[in-house]
Amino acid sequence: MLTPQPASAATTATITITASGYICEAPGGFTVTYISDWEIGLSWTMGIGANNTMVRAAIGRVPADREDGYLVYYGDGIYATDWSQNLDTLDAKVYYRAWSENAGGIWTSEYGEGFIEGIGMKLIAFIVLALGLMIAAFVFKKQALMMAAGLGFVGLGVYMRLQSVAVGWTGWDIYMLFFWLGIALAFVCFFETFLVARKSQEIELAKEEGEQYAESYGDMLEQVAKLRKFKIRR
């Protein structure tokens, strides 16, 4: 009589099954807001399924990963402030990226991002442009260039005054220094414009008087020549 026997294998194989699936969503609606030269506001919506958000920043380039750049925020909130930069002197963009972390400590590969631009380069460009116009006006004696330079320095002064008010100006600071510098140089440009215009009028007047004198002198010489001919004939 035959009885059933369990089957057996000569070797036993170990099978490992790895499952990868949904982690959580990246932060959404990432927004970078200028508050002041020293205060940059960051906001976002928490990714679905996320427990924490990490925000990192880098100057002049985007943070490559969660180890790159400098840490701005890590936690379960939806707002952060970056106090580490001075946009007034910074001549590059500050780039931000935000990643989500789930309850198991797994991070998303996707991210939210944004950037803000420092005004240092704009300020330098503004000054260089105005100075360039003023120098060109002095060299070429062009009234239009001098007027443009004056308007440029007025704009510089007003811009720096607004910056001073934005940071709560209470006395003399770099903003007010640029403000009065801009106003002073604008006055120089406008005054020079007035002088150039006046000199141009004087030159034109002298030219007209010279032409009239030359014409009168020519007429006089012609009359003298006629008198000489008349005397010779007599």
SS3 label, residue 129: helix
pLDDT digits (tens, 9 = 90+) for 167-195: 555 555 666 677 777 777 777 777 777 77
Q: Alpha-carbon Rg of the chain, whole angstroms?
A: 39
- The first and second tokens of residue 206, run together, are 């002298």
pLDDT in tens for each of the 234 residues of the chain?
444 444 444 444 454 434 456 789 999 999 998 887 788 999 999 999 999 999 999 998 999 999 999 999 999 999 999 999 888 777 788 999 999 999 999 999 999 999 988 766 667 777 788 788 878 877 887 777 777 777 777 777 777 777 666 555 555 566 667 777 777 777 777 777 777 666 666 667 667 766 666 666 666 766 666 666 655 655
Report the alpha-carbon angle 156-161-162, nearest 5: 100
Give the separation between CA 157 and CA 133, rounded to whole angstroms: 16
pTM of the model: 0.51
Give the separation between CA 168 and CA 123, rounded to whole angstroms: 20
Predicted confidence at residue 105, as pLDDT, reads: 93
Pairing of strands 93-101, 112-117: antiparallel
